[in-house]
């Protein structure tokens, strides 16, 4: 495969690859979390590991789609699992919030949110301006997550919740940057809205991991 000759596509691909490695780091860090010995915390950590796993898959596919010359047909095929992975990432963000609010959720809630992510993925295929449907889904889900963590922090004042608030706020900011394109900016190398989105999302991932790592039991400080 030939590396693409468009500078903004190269920087988008490279930042996608870095984001993918950062997701691997997040999964490894969460795998070593002592809190996972608690049944409720184990569910929380597992859900977030899967969220980062789907984000890893999306970023890896993005690296290939943006970084190499290929036919439009092949590129279109790559977008399909990429968008579905992003939809499931958003769904599991919501599940993670529900676990922190309720301490544990039923299995059907997890499968239901994954099904909802699949439905919105399907809508992107049939609705005019399909990607805007996904942006709407992501926006509503992230605003719900942000509002829920703010409410939880006001009630419980647990420090980890501030990291989650910052992480989700940065994630929302990253989504706004991506949705505001197309545009370009030179930061040594030329980036477009997608590349900057990845850079900002990296910060969001780190903040979320900081919120997920502290040793604590879900439900303390009632």
The better pLDDT of the pair 47, 42 is held by 47
- The pLDDT, as a whole number, for residue 2 is 86
Residue 52 to residue 72: CA distance in whole angstroms: 28
| CA gap 217, 212 in Å, rounded | 11
User: According to the model, what pLDDT value does residue 132 have?
Assistant: 74
> What is the DSSP code (8-state) at residue 192?
E
Q: Regarding predicted confidence, which is higher, 59 or 124?
A: 59
Dist. CA 187–CA 114, nearest whole Å:
37
Q: What is the pLDDT of residue 160?
A: 87
pLDDT band at residue 100 using 50, 70 and 90 as cut-offs: confident
List, in order of start, the domains of the chain with CATH numbers.
7-212 (1.20.1070)
Question: Residues 89, 140: contact at Cβ < 8 Å?
Answer: no
Residue 121 pLDDT: 83
Q: Is the pLDDT of residue 218 over 60?
A: no
pLDDT band at 128 (very low <50, low <70, confident <90, very high): low
Residue 194: per-residue pLDDT: 93
**196 confidence band (pLDDT: 50, 70, 90):** very high
Using alpha carbons, select from 206, 196, 197, 122 the residue that is nearest to residue 166. Answer: 206
Q: Is the pLDDT of residue 138 over 90?
A: no
Mean model confidence pLDDT for the chain: 88
Q: Do 154 and 173 form a contact (C-beta atoms < 8 A)?
A: no
Report pLDDT for 214. Answer: 64
pLDDT at site 39: 72
Q: Is the pLDDT of residue 37 over 70?
A: no
* pLDDT on residue 222: 40
- Can you tell me the distance from the alpha carbon of 177 to that of 182, in angstroms, rounded to the nearest whole number? 10
């Amino acid at each position: 495969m030939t590396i693409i000759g468009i500078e903004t596509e190269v920087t988008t691909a490279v930042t996608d690859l870095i984001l993918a490695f950062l997701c691997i780091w997040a999964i490894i860090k969460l795998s070593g979390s002592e809190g996972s010995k608690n049944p409720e915390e184990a569910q929380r950590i597992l859900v977030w590991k899967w969220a980062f796993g789907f984000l890893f898959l999306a970023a890896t596919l993005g690296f290939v789609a943006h970084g190499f010359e290929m036919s439009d047909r092949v590129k279109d095929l790559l977008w399909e699992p990429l968008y579905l992975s992003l939809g499931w990432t958003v769904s599991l963000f919501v599940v993670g919030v529900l676990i922190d609010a309720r301490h544990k959720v039923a299995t059907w809630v997890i499968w239901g949110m994954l099904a909802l992510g699949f439905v919105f993925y399907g809508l992107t295929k049939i609705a005019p301006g399909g990607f805007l449907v996904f942006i709407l889904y992501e926006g509503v889900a992230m605003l719900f997550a942000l509002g829920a963590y703010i409410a939880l922090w006001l009630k419980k004042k647990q420090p980890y919740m501030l990291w989650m608030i910052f992480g989700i706020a940065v994630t929302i900011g990253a989504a706004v940057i991506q949705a505001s394109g197309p545009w370009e900016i030179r930061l040594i190398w030329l980036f477009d809205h997608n590349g900057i989105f990845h850079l900002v999302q990296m910060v969001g991932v780190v903040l979320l991991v900081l919120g997920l790592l502290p040793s604590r039991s879900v439900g303390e400080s009632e």
